[in-house]
Each structure stands twice: as C-alpha cells, then as structure tokens.
Structure 1
Amino acid sequence: MASALSGASSTLDSSADSSWNPEGASFPKSFAWGASTAAYQVEGGWDADGKGPSVWDTFTHQGGDRVFKNQTGVEYYDKMIDSLLANDVTPVVTLYHFDLPQCLEDQGGWRSGAMVEAFDSYAQFCFRTFGDRVKLWITINEPYVMAELGYEEGMMAPGIKELGTGAYLAAHNMIKAHAAAWHTYDRLFRKTQGGLVSIALNSDWAEPFDPNSVADQEAAKRHVAFCLDWFAAPIFLNGDYPAIMKSQISAMCKRQGSPSLRLPEFTEEEKMMIKGTADFFSLNYYTSRKIKHRDNTHSPPSMSADKEAEQVTEPSWPVATGSSWLAVVPWGLRRLLKYIKDTYNHPIIYITENGFSQSDPAALDDTQRWEYFRLTLLEILKAIYIDGVQLKGYFVWSLLDNFEWTCGYRSRFGLFHVDFENPALPRAPYKSAIEYAKVIANNGLMKSHG
C-alpha cells in the first residue's frame, strides 16, 4: 500500500513543482511539532470526581461541566499543564471540543444566544486559572462538525435534527461566542499573559469533478465556502458570512418558497465585534473531495441541499482502513494552505489536526499510515518553501488510540496503540510514532535511499 500512496501523489498532483525535491529539507528553525488529544476521547472518568454529564455522555448512554466550578478538574489540568512544561512541551489548550455540559444543552445549547455569555464566562475562568502557563488557546474545535452533525443531521451529540436551520443557528452562536472570548482575553489578559487565541477550523480541499465544467468549478467553490469560509470569512475578513454562501442560501430559499432567509444575519455591531478575532489560523485537515454540481431546487430545505454540491469518491485515491471517508490526498493539503494564504491575508497557520486511521486489529507496523504522514510532510514543505505559506506548526491526530465518537474504539488514529481489552490500558508505539519522533529530532524528513 505504501507504493500505492506514492503513486497516487505523483500521478494526481501533476501541477506539483518538479524543480525542487523536498526530501531531506529541514523545516523552519522554530517549527512546532506536536500531537493532539481531546478530553472526552482519552480521559475516561465520565462520572467521576463531581464531573457533570456532557452531551456525549447522554448521547452514548442512550443509545461537563468538566472544569468550570470543579476543583478536582482544575487540579487535574494544573498537574497536566505543569507536567507538560516540565518536559519541555508547550501546551496548546482547546476550551471546547464537542462535549458541551448537558445542563447547557437542556437550555438550548448552541441554538441559544445565551451560550455566548456562558462560554465567555467559562473562557475567562480558564484564562485566569491557567493563562500564566498556557500561551496558545483554541476557543472551539471544528464548529462546522458540531453545527452540521450535532444540530442539523443529528449524527453526533446532542443529536438534534433541524434540517435547514439547526446548523446555521448553532454556527451563528459559536462564532459570536468565540469572538466574545477573544475580546475577553484581549482586554483582560493579553497584556500580562502574552498569549494568542484562535479557533480550530476543519476543511477538506475540493476539486471539481470535471475540471472543464464551469458548474463543477462553482460547486467546488461552494463546498469550501460552506465548510471553511463559513467561519473563516467572518473571523479573518469582514465579520460576515461569505458572499457566495449568502447568495446561494437566499436563492435556494426563493426557489423553495421559503418565507424568510434561513441563514441568520449579524448586526453591524456584531460584525465589528467578530472581525479580526484570531491571532493565527488553526487548521484541521484530513482529506479532499471531488465535487460536482447537483440541482437541488426540488429538495426539502437543508444545509446539504443549499450547497448544491455532490461529493464523489475518486476511485484512484487510497482510503484509510479505519475510516471509509478518509481518502488519502496529501497534495490537497498544500492546495488548501495556498488557498488560505491567498484568501485570508497570508496568516500564520498551525495545522492542529492531521491523521490517518487503522481498523482493528491494528498492526504496530503501520507502514500505510507512516507513508500518509511522510507524503503529507513533503507537501507541507512545498507549501512553505515554494508557495510561501507561513506555516508554523504541525500536530498529528492523535497521540493515543481513543474514543472516536460514533466509531467508538474501532477507528484507531493514535501514534500509540492502546489495548482496550486490558484494564491497565497498556500502550505501545506504532511505527509511525517512532518515525515521527525522528522527524521531530531532525526537524525534517531524512532523505530516502533506494
């Protein structure tokens, strides 16, 4: 499979700059290397030490108030942060990674405007409690996933299915909550703590199914607009949703006979409050898609229908064994990074998630996954040195095999294997962990031989 991955990259990326070989090149001197985890996915103890239930506790058991006002939670993260720093590891802390306290969801969750103030209060508590040691903050992880799968399609917690309105409303409040937290940090903590605050946006790259079709080209643009630009445009550009998204939803509402626009509107005051509320661009990337136009005029209202963009699987792209949705397209990341550079005023970027899953039984000799990482890092080098992207760091998802949401423990993204059948949960490094450690030690990929 390693050779298949190499073949896919060299065959499909015909536009790659062939005059420079990134193998053996070093990354910039201050480049940050890391691996990511998330509280709900690795910590366990869902009902221990006074932690209240989160929407995922409810969601998984029908089938938290993790830190705020919980001294045991505060002590836990105090120890974790101190331990990381003692081992020369810089913590990058995400305030919200899908596990909203159930008590807040019972009051409307992200569909409620009251969440803006609640999140801001929580953020202020965390800045005040941990900000003397934490200098890189992420407010919300992947708001697109939370909005679409949590409040539109109901496939993830809290399992709300409000087609055509739920995702837009949830996203609206998440953007305002992020902006409020950024301003709180800027006003109360930045001068004394000197940290940076952003939001982690996930996005695929989109290629037109037929590169000669104007309709498919426009559909590919809509796919990126409804995924990345939905959040990036308000925060990094002008405080408002992308024009392509607003016009598309407006047109669909008229064609479907909807009495009003389903996409909420920001007031002028809110636009000014939202604009410029990120100190760097945090990107989570896994895969790319072929996109073709699809006429959804007669479809019931939904966010999916609004896009009029059908995702088509490219059969020549290898697929991760543990995730049928994860097609291996390393060159798509380079194109996405270039798009972000060109669209969002050449920001400093951190890749805060990038990974490849295995299914059970997962072999420690994960050659296929390491080849994914190797090819991805080569594309990142091209983005830095050929395209001039200001990429400052790369974090693998994930440090450990963990609870992968609706896939449970069957989808293994970890650099370290976890034996979930053993109560002691023993861990062992995959080959990818060993090879990734070499990359970090060398600040670059060693040139391959043979």
Structure 2
Amino acid sequence: MNETNQTYSFPSDFWWGSAASGPQTEGAAKEDGRKPSIWDYWYSKQPECFHGEVGPEHTSNFYHMYKEDIQLMKKTGHNSFRTSIQWSRLIPDGKGTINEKAVQFYNDVINELIANDIEPIMNLYHFDMPMCMQEKGGWESREVVDAYVEYAKTCFELFGDRVKYWFTFNEPIVPVEASYLYNLHYPHIVDFKRGAQVAHNTIVAHAKAVAVYKKLNLNGRIGIILNLTPSYPRSKKEEDVQAAHIADLFFNRSFLDPVTKGVYPAGLIEILKERNLLPAVEEGDLEIIQSNPIDLLGVNYYQPRRVKAKEEQVPPEKPFMPEHLFDPYIKPDRKINPHRGWEICEEVIYDIMINIRDHYDNIPFFISENGMGVEGEEKFRNHEGYIEDDYRIEFIQEHLKWVHKGLQEGANCLGYHLWTFMDNWSWANAYKNRYGLVEVDLNRDFKRTIKKSGQWYKALTDNHGFTINRKKEAKS
C-alpha cells in the first residue's frame, strides 16, 4: 500500500469560525434588566416540555464568561464569530427605553472580539420574541413588525460603527413551522393561514430593516440567514420530481426568493391562492420587499429533504399542511446521525452552492451553520481529560471537501461557520445533544475544555485548509 496526500486549500481571507445565539449562550436571563422572552414564559408554564426540565435561564454563562470564551475562540482558530443580540435584553419592553447595561455588555463583547482579531457578525433575531411582543400577537401583528424595525435601527446606531456584517433573522421559517404548523413550540398554533401571515410579516420586517440599514450608510453589509434543505425526489418520475419542486417552494424558496429576487415564487402563490391561504398583504409591502434585496446570505445546512409523490389523498376537510402535496421519503442506504435522527449527506452543501451560483446571481454567501450534535460525548473522554470527537472532525472534513469543490467551480462562498463554538442550550432539547468545539461542564461551574475537534479546527484555520492521507494499492 502507498500513501497519497490530498490537500484542500481555502482562500487566505476565508471566514473560519462558529455560530451561536444570545438566548442559547448568555444565561443571566433575570439579570441586569432583561425581561422574559417567549422561551422564558413557556418554560415557566410547562417545564416538562424541556429536556431534563433545563430551561433558558441555564445556558452557557457567556454573559459572565465572554472574555474567557473569546480567548478560547482564538485557541480554536476563529477569525470570525456570529452571535445575536437579544431584543428582550436590549429593549426589555419591546419598544421604548434602551437598557444601558445591555448596551455595555454588547459593546464589551464586540470590542473584545475586535481586539482579538475576530470579526463580529451580528444577528438580530434568533427565535427569541420578547414575551411582551408575543402578547401583542407576535409576528402576526404589524405593531410588532414596527417595533422590530425600531429595535433593528437601534442596534445599527449603537453598534454599526464596528459591526460590519448584520443579519436580520436566523432561520425565519422555523418559528412558522414549529409554532404555527407542527405544534412543536409555543404558542402551539396549528393554522397554516396564520403561519403564512407570520412568514409574510417576517419578510416585511426584514425588508424594512434592510432599508433602514442602507439609509444609515454605515459601510457594512446586511443579509439574512436561511436554513436551506434541498428537496430531492425519490425517482426521476415526473410525479416525484413535481413533489420535490413543491416541497422546495414551501421550505426553501418561500424565503429565499423574496429576500434575493424581491418576489415570491409564482408557483407558491398559485398553490396558496387555490386554497384561500394567501396572507393579508398591506399597501407598500411588495414594493418594500422588491426594493431591498440582501447584500449577502447566510446558509445553514444540516440535512436534505427527500420526498415522493403523494400516495394517499388527504380528506379535504383536514386543515392544510404542505405535506398534503407530497410524502416524505427515506433513502434506504442513507447515512444518519443516530443522536439527532438526521441524514448526513455532505455533497448537498455543494448542490446548494451551485444553485446559488446559477439561480441567485452568485450572491456572496457563507456557510453560517453546519454541525453534528452527539449525545453522551463524555464517553469519549481520554486520560488527559478532553473529549476525542473524531466523528466531528470527520463530519467537518467531509463537508469541507464539497465546499472546496464549490469554490473551485466559482461559487461565491466567503466562509464556513460551525454550529457551534461551545456546547450550548438548545431550545426544547436543552443539553441533550452537544455540538461544541469546546465542552461545557454544567456540573463544574460551566468549566470549558477544548475538545479534539477544537484543536483540529485551529490547525485547519492556521493552514487555510487540511490534508487527508489516503492509502492506495501499489500496482504490481
């Protein structure tokens, strides 16, 4: 056997880093003037809905440990880091008075990142609606849309002199799906038309925030972060291909098209119009959407969606769901993360890149999340005390091979961010699955320990790439 080396090199200015969010890392939920978000309220009413009854108050203590954490970012090779500002901390009543202690905290974090040569990338909304705004109707309410736009403007004015990359929303389709379709998150509404209204109002809020940012002339760029889950048909049969097309309209293009092209997909409008499910559109909405395309796109990728033609028609009296038009399909030979139940299919990240290149004007984008959650990682702890998560290293490598291929073929990808820097609280799953390059020990005052993947990530970024040794059979 002979050994051959395959090297994957990336641009010297490539963004290497990770993504996180304020509500999942800061903790200090009841400190320094912060008021409850929708998650705090839900936990107070139904703690049993959260894994291990661990609620949003008990996150990773970034609020008090950010200086130590930023040093660990340096030790794990970060040149960039994306997190979010909590609306419920900065403007605790949703609108009106600004919390100066929150301003100080976010200023300190931003300044500390910059002092350590880590580019701060800031997101404005990561599922964390202030409860006082939810009581006004959440994203169903135009009053809340207006309050969000004012909140966004406040953030731009306070921090925009140093933060050059802004994102309005992270995965805005998730609150639509989880809270208004599939009964997963509070407020547990199952009503497609109300969900469609939430989606439209969110896009209007996004577009208005983009307009405000551009008017301020802050010498930066603004975009949105979408979780793209490409839809693949079971076969090349026309009915399966059509099923995949419909799924793509609902779960990808519903947000991707309006924020990049300024219009909703005609096919999606037709489907909703036929069923009397179109949201209410106010005067000026479509113009504001069309006039404010994003500067750059964040792409969160975890898994593909596989579908087939609908095999049994749904009774017409049943409340509409997207799945009334197609069936899920499980690929028999799929690779899977057993802890999360998600298919691992690395080459899909390349398909996303080429789709953006060919159908979305090759807009600048970066892989804003990609990661592997694993339960029970402590069993991989070695005698030196750190976790040997070789599976995470392999996961990253296999995805980066396809990112490299996309770059070689002209996709305008600016970087790769892993979810996430350190183990953090994850909505209703709490700490069940760990994603971090750095372990957080909840039983030892949030003690941080870099995992093997964190050490490898530092080498990756130092070398602007990685090399894989392959064994090759020698010819006789």
TM-score range, shorter chain: 0.7 to 0.9
Structure 1 partner of 2:18: 35
Cα distance in 1 between the residues matched to 2:452 and 2:281: 48
Structure 2 partner of 1:379: 402
Cα distance in 2 between the residues matched to 1:124 and 1:286: 31
The C-alpha deviation readout for 1:108-153, integer Å capped at 9, x for no partner, is 0011122221111000100000011100001111011111112222
Cα distance in 2 between the residues matched to 1:327 and 1:22: 28
Cα distance in 2 between the residues matched to 1:415 and 1:268: 47
How far 1:399 sits from its partner (Å)?
0.6
How far 1:317 sits from its partner (Å)?
2.2
Structure 2 partner of 1:433: 454
SS in 1 for 2:368: strand
Tell me, yes or no, if the aligned pair for 2:377 and 2:434 is still in contact at 8 Å. no
SS in 1 for 2:39: helix
Structure 2 partner of 1:226: 250
SS in 1 for 2:469: coil
Cα distance in 2 between the residues matched to 1:62 and 1:403: 19
Cα distance in 2 between the residues matched to 1:394 and 1:23: 20
SS in 1 for 2:16: strand
Aligned residues: 412
1:54 to 22, 34, 37: 37
Work out which structure has the larger RCO, using CA pairs closer than 8 Å and 6 or more positions apart in sequence: 2
The C-alpha deviation readout for 1:340-364, integer Å capped at 9, x for no partner, is 2222111111111111110024431
Structure 1 partner of 2:141: 112
Cα distance in 2 between the residues matched to 1:218 and 1:23: 39
Structure 1 partner of 2:118: 89
The C-alpha deviation readout for 1:145-191, integer Å capped at 9, x for no partner, is 111112222312x3331322232111111100000010001112x2x
Any stretches of 5+ residues in structure 1 without a counterpart? 1-20, 254-260
Structure 1 partner of 2:68: none
SS in 2 for 1:25: strand
* 1:138 maps onto 2:206 in alignment: no
* 1:343 maps onto 2:365 in alignment: no
1:319 to 336, 349, 364: 336
Tell me, yes or no, if the aligned pair for 1:33 and 1:440 is still in contact at 8 Å. yes
SS in 1 for 2:210: helix
SS in 1 for 2:340: coil
Q: Percent identity?
A: 30
How far 1:421 sits from its partner (Å)?
2.0
Tell me, yes or no, if the aligned pair for 1:234 and 1:271 is still in contact at 8 Å. no
Amino acid across the alignment from 2:285: E
Pairing of 1:252-331 with structure 2 (within 5 A): 253=275, 261-264=276-279, 266=281, 269-275=284-290, 276-294=292-310, 296-298=313-315, 300-305=318-323, 308-324=325-341, 326-331=342-347
Cα distance in 1 between the residues matched to 2:189 and 2:230: 26
TM-score (norm 2): 0.83
TM-score (norm 1): 0.88
1:413 to 435, 443, 447: 435
Pairing of 1:90-239 with structure 2 (within 5 A): 90-156=119-185, 158-188=186-216, 190=217, 193-210=218-235, 212-237=236-261, 239=262
How far 1:267 sits from its partner (Å)?
5.7
Cα distance in 2 between the residues matched to 1:420 and 1:314: 37
From the superposition, tell whether residues 22 and 65 of structure 1 become closer, same or farther in structure 2 (CA, over 3 Å).
farther
SS in 2 for 1:103: helix
Structure 2 partner of 1:79: 108
How far 1:284 sits from its partner (Å)?
0.7
Tell me, yes or no, if the aligned pair for 1:23 and 1:378 is still in contact at 8 Å. no
How far 1:28 sits from its partner (Å)?
2.0
SS in 2 for 1:49: coil
Cα distance in 2 between the residues matched to 1:290 and 1:97: 26
Cα distance in 2 between the residues matched to 1:154 and 1:22: 49
Tell me, yes or no, if the aligned pair for 1:240 and 1:266 is still in contact at 8 Å. no
SS in 1 for 2:124: strand
SS in 2 for 1:146: helix
Cα distance in 2 between the residues matched to 1:393 and 1:22: 24
How far 1:277 sits from its partner (Å)?
2.5
How far 1:389 sits from its partner (Å)?
0.7
Structure 2 partner of 1:370: 393
Any stretches of 5+ residues in structure 2 without a counterpart? 47-86, 92-97, 381-386, 472-476
The C-alpha deviation readout for 1:14-63, integer Å capped at 9, x for no partner, is xxxxxxx9941311232111111111111111111111000011122221
1:243 to 251, 266, 277: 266
Cα distance in 1 between the residues matched to 2:415 and 2:263: 28
Tell me, yes or no, if the aligned pair for 1:167 and 1:303 is still in contact at 8 Å. no
* 1:443 maps onto 2:464 in alignment: yes
Cα distance in 2 between the residues matched to 1:367 and 1:434: 11
Cα distance in 1 between the residues matched to 2:136 and 2:406: 44
SS in 1 for 2:284: helix
2:370 to 332, 340, 354: 354
SS in 2 for 1:445: strand
Structure 2 partner of 1:396: 418
